[in-house]
């Protein structure tokens, strides 16, 4: 479910698409009991 949600809501910036910008970004976050996301932390960006 989580991967399906992320894939369905992730938006790639149009200017990055036009310039063929690619990379990997890794975040961690906590899913609270009410479904909200908190404590985002950037782990890796390349």
Q: Assess if residue 34 is contained within a domain.
A: yes
Residue 43 pLDDT exceeds 90 = yes
The DSSP element (H or E) to which 39 belongs, if any, is strand 37-45
Q: With contact defined as beta carbons under 8 Å apart, do 31 and 37 qualify? A: yes
> How many angstroms separate the CA atoms of 41 and 13, rounded?
20
Q: Assess if residue 38 is contained within a domain.
A: yes
Give pLDDT, residue 2.
80
Q: Assess if residue 31 is contained within a domain.
A: yes
Q: Assess if residue 5 is contained within a domain.
A: no
Q: Assess if residue 10 is contained within a domain.
A: no
Residue 5 pLDDT exceeds 90 = no
Write out the residue range of the structural domain in which residue 44 sits.
22-46
Q: How many domains does the chain divide into?
A: 1
Q: 13-41 pLDDT, tens per residue?
A: 899 999 999 999 899 999 999 989 999 99
- pTM: predicted TM-score of the whole model, two decimal places: 0.57
Q: Assess if residue 33 is contained within a domain.
A: yes
Q: Which residue has the tokens 């990997």?
A: 24
Q: Assess if residue 13 is contained within a domain.
A: no
Give pLDDT, residue 33.
96
């Amino acid at each position: 479910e989580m991967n399906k949600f992320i894939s369905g809501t992730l938006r790639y910036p149009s200017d990055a698409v036009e310039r063929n910008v690619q990379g990997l970004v890794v975040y961690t976050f906590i899913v609270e009991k009410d479904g909200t996301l908190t404590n985002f932390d950037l782990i890796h960006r390349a």
